[in-house]
Structure 1
Amino acid sequence: MIYIGIIGVLAALDLWIKKAIEEQNDSDFPKELNESGGKILLYKNHNPGFSFGYFKDHPDLVSMIPLAVASFIGGMLACLLRTRGKTAEKLALSIALGGAVSNLYDRLVRHYVVDYFSIQYGKLKKVVFNLGDFFIFLGAGLIIIIEMVRAFKER
């Protein structure tokens, strides 16, 4: 099951980076990512809420909604795995679920999500996120593209 492997590898990669960030002193941040030419800064942020800290005062809600969403995505993937084809959809859901699993682990075990990098470009300078977030957005973006292509072909 290559898709289960993708989920595991992506989640493990993000959790490994989060662990490395957590082991460093708070005073070491922010700092430039080596070889990025100043385009990526590393941070050590703890986000107890949703994106941008929304609902941080409602920890049960912040844990249960992502759990429900990840379960739904996992269910969709499980249904797709029983069918032939739809490789792009399976891959997109696996990528999104890899990021979701990593962030869900943080929410349930640490009670906050570790965010650790910011791209120094335009309004992105103000946003600190992690690879799990990137994987979620990438998977969702791929699903949107897949559906747009499918709709275009059906016309």
Structure 2
Amino acid sequence: MSNVKLHSKFDQRSGLRWLWLAIIIFMIDYLSKVFIIGTMTVNGSTPITVLPFMNLYYVHNTGAAFSFLSTEGGWQRWLLALIAVVACGFLSYKMRQASITQTAHNIGCAFIIGGALGNLFDRIQYGFVIDFLDFHYKNHHFAIFNLADVAIFCGVILYLLSSLKKTS
């Protein structure tokens, strides 16, 4: 009898072991949006007194980042949903190819996947993404976004840094 173990597609040594983090990101994003829906009205703003540069401002975003494509007739909902599904599939494949010890790479992928799933859920459930974080300086406001967007941004930075580290 051979001592060779057969490994499943979900190999315990692959980066897929980090997918638990994507689930946590998704849940935090989901719960934050449930809170906003339950406590605010659409286009309502609430200043955060301990953070004078930030408001909660509840909006529905039918587009992508910075409301890109938001004025289109609705087809963008399904295009952006498809992009999210393809991105999640691609990043899951990259995690499967990576070692569990490639921490920055796997965390970056998990953050992007969790954020993409959070916004994908909104697009499918509501037809738009729930945004509510409004950073500003005096009367100059940045685009309104959500925790899924923060996770995607942080994930892209980690993914790029891990890619640069490999090529160095």
Shorter chain as denominator, the TM-score bin is: 0.7 to 0.9
1:65 aligns with 2:83: yes
Is the Cα contact below 8 Å between 1:7 and 1:98 reproduced in 2?
yes
Which structure shows the bigger proportion of residues in helix conformation? 1
SS in structure 1 of the partner of residue 39 of structure 2 = coil
Q: After superposition, give the CA deviation of every residue in 1:38-74 in whole Å (9 maximum; x if it has no partner).
A: 1111011111111233233322212212222222222
For residue 39 of structure 2, the aligned residue among 21, 24, 31 is: 24
Show the 5 A alignment for 1:66-145. Answer: 66-80=84-98, 83-121=99-137, 125-145=141-161
TM-score normalised by structure 2 residue count: 0.78
Q: Distance in 1 between matches of 2:94 and 2:67?
A: 28
Q: What root-mean-square deviation, in Å, do the aligned CA atoms of Structure 1 and Structure 2 show?
A: 2.3
SS in structure 2 of the partner of residue 42 of structure 1 = strand
SS in structure 1 of the partner of residue 27 of structure 2 = helix
Alignment gaps of 5+ in structure 1? none
Q: Distance in 1 between matches of 2:96 and 2:147?
A: 23
Q: Distance in 2 between matches of 1:121 and 1:150?
A: 38
Q: Distance in 2 between matches of 1:55 and 1:15?
A: 23
Q: Distance in 2 between matches of 1:123 and 1:92?
A: 33
CA, structure 1 residues 7+122, in 2 after alignment: closer, same or farther (shift >3 Å)?
A: farther
Aligned residues: 149
Deviates more, 1:25-34 or 1:137-146: 25-34
TM-score normalised by structure 1 residue count: 0.83
1:46 aligns with 2:60: yes
CA, structure 1 residues 122+134, in 2 after alignment: closer, same or farther (shift >3 Å)?
A: farther
Alignment gaps of 5+ in structure 2? 1-15
Greater Cα radius of gyration, structure 1 or 2: 2
SS in structure 2 of the partner of residue 97 of structure 1 = helix
Q: Distance in 1 between matches of 2:33 and 2:66?
A: 18
Give 4+ residue runs of structure 1 displaced > 4 Å after superposition.
none
Q: Distance in 1 between matches of 2:93 and 2:121?
A: 18
| Cα drift, residue 122 of structure 1 | 8.2
